[in-house]
Chain A
Amino acid sequence: MTSSITWELNGRPVTCNVEGHQRLIDVLRDVLGHTGTKEGCGEGECGACTVLVDDRAVNSCLYPAAGVAGRQVRTIEGLLGADCRLSPLQAAFVEEHGAQCGFCTPGMIMSAVALLERVPEPTDDQIRDALRGNLCRCTGYVQIIHSIRGAATRPQAGGTA
């Protein structure tokens, strides 16, 4: 069953057709070419596919594509500023070596965005609680915590976009 939906992706309006069975990740990656969002498990366990829907972190591998009608979706592609400048959070991940193979990184960063927008200066426990749905096999998570801490204490307000 195909339906036409209108929504917002990284601040820009989008109108597209979606099939009833399509997941948000399918539309992002295969239809709109936004391959920054990764599929790590397809069953909502690893968090690699995390995107923001109306400011809430969701697993796009479980979220029905049709469900974003009328909503605002933000993906990793939307974090770059003007002139492709890394956001403070992304810059912190570079500086603190928060990314190794990088496959979990987009999802990890989007979960961190959701956290920092609610809690601008989280404790380590709050960071752990917010990111426990994002699996990483490379880093052991320590430098990820350093990255998020580093972003939270950067001079720019909010430390996100």
Chain B
Amino acid sequence: MSDLRYIGKPGDRPEAPEKVAGRAVYIHDLTRPGMLYGQIKHSDHAHARIKSIDTSKAEALPGVHAVITGYDTPRVTVGFLGDNCALKRDKVRQFRDEIAAVAASAPDIARRAVDLIEVEYEPLPGVFDPAEALKADAPLVHETDPRGRPVTTNRMPLEYHHETGDLEAARAEAAFVVEGSYSVPMIQQTCMGTAGCIAEFDLRGNLTIWAKTQIPFLAQRDFNRALAQMGLENGNSRVIVPALGGGFGTGLDTHCYEYISILLAHRTGRAVKILLNREEEFANLSPRQSARTRVVQGCDSTGRLLFREIEVLQDNGAYASWGATYPTVMLLPVTSLYKVPVVHFDAQCVYTNNTYCQAMRGYGNPEVTWAIESNLDDLAEKAGIGRYEIRRINCNETGELTPMALEITSCGLDKCLEAAAKGLDWDAPRPPRIAEDGGRRLRGVGMASLIHVGGSGRIYRSDASGLIFKLDDFGNVNVSYGGVEMGQGLHATLTLAVAESLGVRPERVHINQTDTGTCPWDVGTHASRGAFMACSAAVRLAAKVRARLFAEAKDLFPGIVEKQRARFAKKNPDADVAEVDIAALAASGAFDLRDDVLSLAGMPAAPWATVPFGRLLRAMHFRRDGTMITDDVFYDPPSDLPDWGKGMGNMSAAYTYGTQGVEVEVDEDTGHVKILKMVSALDVGKVLNPPSLEGQTYGGIAQGIGYALYEQVLTHEGRVLNAGFTDYKIPTIAEMDFPIEMVFVETNDPNGPYGSKGAGEPGLVPTAPAIGNAIYDAIGVRLRHLPLTPEKVLAALREKRSQPAPSA
């Protein structure tokens, strides 16, 4: 591995010059000839029957080309349970519900037309809390299932269980047991580039849709289903992905606005663009799933964990999207963060009239790691064991088989824990200090760890990625990959892997736009799988292509080199030109391609003795029965699709571990929490592209801090109250004013490309519990409900002061 030329060294983002020049083309910047602008009318109630919709005034407005409702369009189903549809009929179940849509020649005309649509409702009582929604007399959000059969509960038909070992026996055996109830709110992904799409049909019924998506091929499948429901059975969908203004999970599902754009495009015969503004994004795009978690953990007298019991209740909102599948990823920390012999897990998802939730970075992992790692500190305290010590005692290791049947092919958690403790000077005394204003500042340290999938995550039957190399006459490698670049640095790192594995310079690598019409199938860019999958495919494809090249070189190399030698000798009559049996050497086939130069072992070190790559390719092409190389691989990693009902299955080819440690200072008078220092230690197997990995991790940390301290989608009876950056606070540059020590542990995973593991999501998984644990260390109060606002910290401090001191 020590002779790597590109992997492990900084690799520029090929698209960065365009981005810094303002030339990257996002969905916001795209237009199509004759394009119309779509706008959606949303519900005025959280729960109501639709009595009538009058679109006449909207239709009459000059510039309006079409107005559609659920009553004059075919029913187009949305979501993996089929419980949602693009335009609503009969009933609305959340404020976001799409009642009607307009296509007009200008955005402001479309907006005015939407305001002219009159809807009559019969309001129904709503339910906005999952515990309330489970009660027998709760209003039913869905009165029938997607097949039309009556249902009698708001509980969703999704089973998430895991049972390993005898919980009661373990509980009885445990020397120390601590229980806690925790919660995390909905937060918004807040991509800086809002959501939108352009849908356009050709004259044969085929759809092209430029979409802000992370799942172009699954989207193609969804849109083809929609075309069939629209009566266009022979139509095909082509999904093209422009530059994305962020993803963070928002692109893992297909959305009602996309189907509405398709319906409008079909109705008008024109391209139709729907673009959400920021307020619409906050109010109408699905946020991160919230969760309430009850956790019980027990250990023996030495601190060894004996059992972990987790119950999760999720407020799903009105329709099923990926929030309802967070428990699949929760299984990872629940069963496999630290060694726990007995694990019981149960999760319920409940329909309510709140906004429904979708994927966000971490996908259930941060939600439940918040509870587990906070609770572990409480357990450590009760058992009289150090908080670093208890984690070290129960640390995972390489070769382990966890209760979920995860095969831990590499694990550097011990080094991550050590780095966090060392970086924070864990045992140093931290007396309170008096600040300039005379108030006391209390300091503390905390740590929390993570496990996440690092070798993709099999949540569909196929977890594959295809890859195509098309070599041209000049030595350029045109690469087609079906995953998406959304700012994470996929293209930068794939460029390095192609250059390294094929033997060309990075400048020769050109990555094509993601387009289902031209790129091979890819399940999607999620589960931190982009670099792992693309680079794994690249390594395999490069080996194939090199074999083909070297087979051709056996025949062509001697002739090319002889010509070069003769030309050199003629130009340099005084030079000593070596004699060598090129044909004999070529027959041995010991070729190499490195930095666009084809060489052969045994040849003298002379300028004429190697062949520029392009010259070989042109020799292959320009002859009778010539050949050019376009080749592909379709890589599916070694992992299993779990049985979700049992919570068992080795869902990834590798697992990424890490620990974050943080030092905080709490203002006793205001409850304000200031971060003084953070250590982020991540076992990534192998660092492929250092600045890209650091960028992902810094970004994850910032999101983790937002989750811990600032962010919450506030709703009242289903209505989003803080639909804008004025009232929804994400970290600014001012909040990132503390040193972050970055440690990357390289454990060289046998399944990873160059030994690497995925790292896109881990950055935000342990941040909240690390901060919560540090706050506890500082002020002696356990906070259980994110975000940890100054108001909550202050209230907790006051409550603690008003309580009598515990007896010795």
A binding-site residues for B, Cβ under 8 Å: 34-43, 45-46, 48, 75-77, 79-80, 84, 86, 90, 93-106, 109, 124-125, 127-129, 131-145
Complex: how many Å from CA A140 to CA B12?
A: 18
Q: Is the interface of A mostly helix, strand, loop or mixed?
A: loop
Interface segment among B18-26, B467-475, B529-537: the answer is B18-26
Given contacts A135-B732, A145-B733, contact A41 B703 (CB under 8 A): no
Query: Do A86 and B691 touch across chains, with their CB atoms under 8 A apart?
Result: no
Query: Do A143 and B20 touch across chains, with their CB atoms under 8 A apart?
Result: no
Query: Do A94 and B248 touch across chains, with their CB atoms under 8 A apart?
Result: no
Query: Do B277 and A101 touch across chains, with their CB atoms under 8 A apart?
Result: no
| Residue of A38, A39, A100, A124 touching B489 (CB-CB under 8 A) | A100
Query: Is B726 an interface residue when CB atoms closer than 8 A count as contact?
Result: yes
Q: Which residues of B contact A137 (CB under 8 A)?
A: 189-192, 246, 248, 699, 702-703, 730
Interface segment among B315-323, B331-339, B734-742: the answer is B734-742
Query: Is B104 an interface residue when CB atoms closer than 8 A count as contact?
Result: no
| Residue of B18, B20, B247, B248 touching A109 (CB-CB under 8 A) | B20
Given contacts A42-B278, A97-B13, A102-B243, contact A48 B733 (CB under 8 A): no
Q: Closest chain A residue to B108 by CB distance? A: A21
| Residue of A34, A48, A96, A138 touching B699 (CB-CB under 8 A) | A138
Complex: how many Å from CA A104 to CA B702?
A: 16
Given contacts A135-B725, A137-B192, A143-B698, contact A99 B736 (CB under 8 A): no
Complex: how many Å from CA A101 to CA B194?
A: 12
Query: Do A106 and B22 touch across chains, with their CB atoms under 8 A apart?
Result: yes
Complex: how many Å from CA A79 to CA B25?
A: 18
Q: Which residues of A contact B703 (CB under 8 A)?
A: 137, 140
Query: Do B733 and A128 touch across chains, with their CB atoms under 8 A apart?
Result: yes
Q: Which residues of A contact B699 (CB under 8 A)?
A: 100, 137-140
The 6 closest A-B pairs by CB, nearest first: A36-B22, A101-B487, A102-B19, A140-B698, A103-B245, A100-B487
Complex: how many Å from CA A97 to CA B491?
A: 13
Query: Do A96 and B245 touch across chains, with their CB atoms under 8 A apart?
Result: no
Q: Closest chain A residue to B691 by CB distance? A: A97
| Residue of B20, B29, B734 touching A99 (CB-CB under 8 A) | B20
17 contacts between A and B (CB under 8 A): A35-B28, A36-B22, A38-B192, A43-B278, A48-B192, A94-B17, A100-B488, A100-B695, A101-B243, A102-B18, A128-B733, A132-B732, A133-B732, A140-B698, A140-B736, A143-B694, A144-B733
Query: Do B20 and A131 touch across chains, with their CB atoms under 8 A apart?
Result: no
Query: Is B701 an interface residue when CB atoms closer than 8 A count as contact?
Result: yes
Q: Closest chain B residue to A143 by CB distance? A: B695
Query: Do B23 and A36 touch across chains, with their CB atoms under 8 A apart?
Result: yes
Query: Do A94 and B12 touch across chains, with their CB atoms under 8 A apart?
Result: yes
Complex: how many Å from CA A77 to CA B698?
A: 28
Query: Do A75 and B22 touch across chains, with their CB atoms under 8 A apart?
Result: yes
Q: Which of B19, B22, B692, B695 has the most CB of A within 10 A?
A: B22
Q: Which residues of A contact B243 (CB under 8 A)?
A: 101-102
Query: Do A131 and B695 touch across chains, with their CB atoms under 8 A apart?
Result: no
Query: Is B700 an interface residue when CB atoms closer than 8 A count as contact?
Result: yes
CB distance from A151 to the nearest CB of B (A): 11
Query: Do A135 and B192 touch across chains, with their CB atoms under 8 A apart?
Result: yes
Complex: how many Å from CA A76 to CA B20?
A: 8
Q: Which residues of A contact B793 (CB under 8 A)?
A: none
Query: Do A35 and B16 touch across chains, with their CB atoms under 8 A apart?
Result: no
Q: Which residues of B contact A128 (CB under 8 A)?
A: 733-734, 736-737
Query: Do A135 and B13 touch across chains, with their CB atoms under 8 A apart?
Result: no
Query: Do B21 and A76 touch across chains, with their CB atoms under 8 A apart?
Result: yes
Q: Which residues of A contact B726 (CB under 8 A)?
A: 43, 45
Q: Which of A84, A103, A143 has the most CB of B within 10 A?
A: A103
Given contacts A101-B487, A132-B734, A137-B246, contact A86 B20 (CB under 8 A): yes
Q: Closest chain A residue to B275 by CB distance? A: A39
Q: Which residues of B contact A46 (CB under 8 A)?
A: 192, 278, 725
Complex: how many Å from CA A95 to CA B193?
A: 23
Query: Is B617 an interface residue when CB atoms closer than 8 A count as contact?
Result: no
Q: Which residues of B contact A131 (CB under 8 A)?
A: 733
Complex: how many Å from CA A75 to CA B23?
A: 12
Interface residues of B in 177-196 (CB under 8 A from A): 189-194
Query: Do B192 and A40 touch across chains, with their CB atoms under 8 A apart?
Result: yes
| Residue of B18, B20, B29, B487 touching A138 (CB-CB under 8 A) | B487
Complex: how many Å from CA A43 to CA B21?
A: 24
Complex: how many Å from CA A123 to CA B699?
A: 22
Query: Is B724 an interface residue when CB atoms closer than 8 A count as contact?
Result: yes
Q: Which residues of A contact B22 (CB under 8 A)?
A: 34-37, 75-77, 105-106
Complex: how many Å from CA A106 to CA B798?
A: 46
| Residue of A79, A132, A142 touching B21 (CB-CB under 8 A) | A79
Query: Is B682 an interface residue when CB atoms closer than 8 A count as contact?
Result: no
CB distance from A22 to the nearest CB of B (A): 11
Complex: how many Å from CA A46 to CA B725?
A: 7
Query: Is B595 an interface residue when CB atoms closer than 8 A count as contact?
Result: no
| Residue of A90, A127, A132, A138 touching B192 (CB-CB under 8 A) | A138
Q: Which residues of B contact A104 (CB under 8 A)?
A: 192
Q: Which residues of A contact B15 (CB under 8 A)?
A: 102
Q: Closest chain B residue to A130 by CB distance? A: B733
Q: Closest chain B residue to A75 by CB distance? A: B22
CB distance from A50 to the nearest CB of B (A): 11
Query: Do B733 and A143 touch across chains, with their CB atoms under 8 A apart?
Result: no
Query: Do A90 and B487 touch across chains, with their CB atoms under 8 A apart?
Result: no
Query: Do B486 and A101 touch across chains, with their CB atoms under 8 A apart?
Result: yes
Q: Which residues of A contact B730 (CB under 8 A)?
A: 135, 137
CB distance from A120 to the nearest CB of B (A): 19
Q: Which of B17, B248, B731 has the most CB of A within 10 A?
A: B17
Query: Is B244 an interface residue when CB atoms closer than 8 A count as contact?
Result: yes
Q: Which residues of A contact B691 (CB under 8 A)?
A: 96-97, 143
Query: Do B245 and A101 touch across chains, with their CB atoms under 8 A apart?
Result: yes
| Residue of A45, A94, A106 touching B13 (CB-CB under 8 A) | A94
Q: A132-B734, A135-B732 are in contact. List 13 more A-B contacts (CB 8 A).
A: A36-B23, A37-B22, A38-B193, A42-B277, A45-B726, A46-B192, A94-B17, A97-B489, A99-B16, A101-B486, A102-B245, A139-B702, A143-B694
Query: Do A105 and B20 touch across chains, with their CB atoms under 8 A apart?
Result: yes
Q: Which residues of B contact A143 (CB under 8 A)?
A: 691, 694-695, 698
Q: Closest chain B residue to A92 by CB distance? A: B20
Complex: how many Å from CA A131 to CA B734?
A: 8
Complex: how many Å from CA A39 to CA B26?
A: 11
Query: Do B736 and A142 touch across chains, with their CB atoms under 8 A apart?
Result: yes
